[in-house]
Amino acid sequence: MDDAGLTAIHHRSHVAFFRALGERGSADARWVSWPDVGAAIVPASSERSLPNSVLYEDPAALLEHHEAIAAVYAEAGVRAFTVWVEPEDEAALAPELEARGHVRDTAPVVQAAVLADLDLERLAAGELDPDPAPRFTTLGTLNDRAWGLTPPALGAAFSGLDGAPGTQVWITRLGGRPASGLMLLREGDDAYVSMVATAPEAAGRRLGRRLLARALLAARADGCTTSTLEASAAGEPIYAAMGYRTLRRLPMYERRERTAA
């Protein structure tokens, strides 16, 4: 499969992930849509622009509905949200978004793999202590710890995903405590990877790499043929070493309510 095909698959899975967070992630979350634009409204993480995210199919529609989008976030008490900008649109959209109060935050790397091309059996080798009853709140708390956030910054936003169709949470333990975890979302035949995190005291043991390989083995056995994700700067070389291809960067433009001085 060529990079263009994998990029299209990633886009569909990326939208499906945020739609799942809006529709099922937590009790007060919503997925609100306008023609060619959708937004995950997640008040449980009101200070975080992830997962409060806007995705679009048409950049003109994004600008047309921007005022309404911002109003929905404000009414929900969400103080920060981000627009994921397609790289080919950035030159035109950046000044428009900046004029509306957005700042370029970061640009995660989109990576993808054809599962048949990965040596998952080798990558999965080694001891793990899988959590027999993994929960999304546990995964959220792992992410809070890994990113130095005050719980439940992300934990609360994912509390409603346990048992949701197409979603799986994988967690391994160290000394009986959660040490590393991730989420898989199945969209079509794609295993979309998100929320990968390792507790600080478990870093350097390759737990996350082995856990992901085992999750992908299960996904492949269930009929998935590809895997897509967005990687941080630290994660990109790890996924590349596993066999993921780097496709492009996906800029995030955050708008944050400023506290009056």
Asked if 198 and 100 count as a contact pair (C-beta separation under 8 A), the reply is no
At residue 260, the pLDDT reads 47
Residues 110-155: tens digit of each pLDDT: 999 999 999 999 999 999 999 999 999 999 999 999 988 877 778 7
Q: Count CB neighbours of 201 within 10 A.
A: 12
At residue 95, the pLDDT reads 98
How many whole angstroms separate alpha carbon 25 and alpha carbon 14? 15
At residue 152, the pLDDT reads 74
Q: Is the pLDDT of residue 12 over 90?
A: yes
Residues 53-109: tens digit of each pLDDT: 999 999 999 999 999 999 999 999 999 999 999 999 999 999 999 999 999 999 999
Asked if 219 and 189 count as a contact pair (C-beta separation under 8 A), the reply is no
How many whole angstroms separate alpha carbon 131 and alpha carbon 170? 8
Tell me the average pLDDT of the chain.
Answer: 95
Residues 174-214: tens digit of each pLDDT: 999 999 999 999 999 999 999 999 999 999 999 999 999 99
Q: Is the pLDDT of residue 231 over 50?
A: yes
At residue 1, the pLDDT reads 92
At residue 261, the pLDDT reads 44
**CATH placement of domain 111-248:** 3.40.630.30
How many whole angstroms separate alpha carbon 242 and alpha carbon 120? 8
Burial class (CB in 10 A: 0-12, 13-18, 19+), 109: buried
Asked if 53 and 230 count as a contact pair (C-beta separation under 8 A), the reply is no
At residue 259, the pLDDT reads 59
Q: What is the pTM assigned to this prediction?
A: 0.95
Every domain range in the chain assigned CATH 3.40.630.30: 111-248
Instruction: Report the percent of the chain where pLDDT is more than 90.
Output: 89
